[in-house]
Amino acid sequence: MRVLMYYSNKDVRLEEMPVPSIGAGELLMRIMASGICGSDVMEWYRRNKVPLVLGHEVAGEIVKVGEGVTKFRVGDRVAATHHVPCNTCHYCLSGHHTVCDTLLKGTHFEPGGFAEYVRIPPINVDRGVFPIPEEVSYEEASFMEPLACVLRGQTNARMKPGQTVLVLGAGISGLLHIGLARALGAGLVIAGDTIPFRLTKAAEMGAHISLEVDDRFIENLRGANQGNLADLVIICYDGFIPFALRSVERGGTVLFFAGAAEGARIPAAINDLFWRTEITLTSTYAGSPADCSAALRMIRAGSVPVSRMITHRLSLAEGARGFQAVASPVEHDCVKVIVEPQR
């Protein structure tokens, strides 16, 4: 079968591998749609593991079913998540499924979603594979995993209806946060970025107001929000962290959502940041199986219009161009790239 082998953002090769064999409790899935995630182009995060086949935002069709699998049949349309929790450790039992050691280090696809086929291990089959509703396309279903991550982020940040939500960075995750905040009843959703194309996309995803992040940003934020700052600030690009810490209202929350550059630090004095502000800094990682299920239901309902984010649909042979587009989005007017391995 054909795969995209990742060596670096500028070196992604179309190669051949054997179709994975499956055992008891496993599934073989033919990949129909696989999204390129922002984390896929974080070279520092990948450099000690290359070469490898990436891809974890997948939807497809089951073509083989291992012995003992009763929940799925050949021909089923499914979306799958590569990381699942154990459900029995200290972290899972305290509600922190996405920092479970099993989820962080113990589950994956073989070889990865940028391939014609993947093997899904038994633990993923048990709690990480979800039927795609008839009304949902494969490309829409491939958004299940990233939307689940966003849903968990806003849940951890305790987003409440009526709040002012500021999303800094209107790339892949930022646009999902904008759409979800609208769906969950935010009173005012504001997008901040420096790229006009992304600010236009933010409006398409439901942002009430789009602001350029510049020297007048805080002033413009107050002007757009009756003199107030934001109740919830979601950081989807680490370059905007200094603005985020100045944009949160007293009693508000800052969610560190996106991965940062290697060695990045929080640029703030403790007294300036915390004393007499009662703000909360929080973070999030990944999504749980419950988040995936909820995300797929939201996609089915049209609550978050995920297909509006897609700017590129590419075959495996064109996949290297997709990685370059995600790594350099301004040059390519790129938001979301969907790879279609069966083309």
Alpha-carbon gap, residue 174 to 38, rounded angstroms: 11
Which has the closest alpha carbon to 199: 188, 187, 189, 191?
A: 191
Q: Are 208 and 189 in contact (CB under 8 A)?
A: yes
In 94-214, where does DSSP find H-type helix? 101, 122-127, 138-141, 144-156, 172-183, 196-204
Q: What is the pLDDT along the chain (343 residues), one digit of tens a residue?
A: 999 999 999 999 999 999 999 999 999 999 999 999 999 999 988 888 899 999 999 999 999 999 999 999 999 999 999 999 999 999 999 999 999 999 998 888 999 999 999 999 999 999 999 999 999 999 999 999 999 999 999 999 999 999 999 999 999 999 999 999 999 999 999 999 999 999 999 999 999 999 999 999 999 999 999 999 999 999 999 999 999 999 999 999 999 999 888 888 888 888 888 889 999 999 999 999 999 999 999 999 999 999 999 999 999 999 999 999 999 998 889 999 999 999 9
Structural domains present in the chain: 2-147+286-340 (3.90.180.10), 158-283 (3.40.50.720)
Q: Are 322 and 36 in contact (CB under 8 A)?
A: yes
- The CA angle 35-40-43, to the nearest 5 degrees, is 160
The residue whose two tokens read 């995600």 is 326
| Strand bridging mode 27-35 / 2-8 | unpaired
Helix (H) or strand (E) holding 224: helix 217-224
The residue whose two tokens read 């996949």 is 319
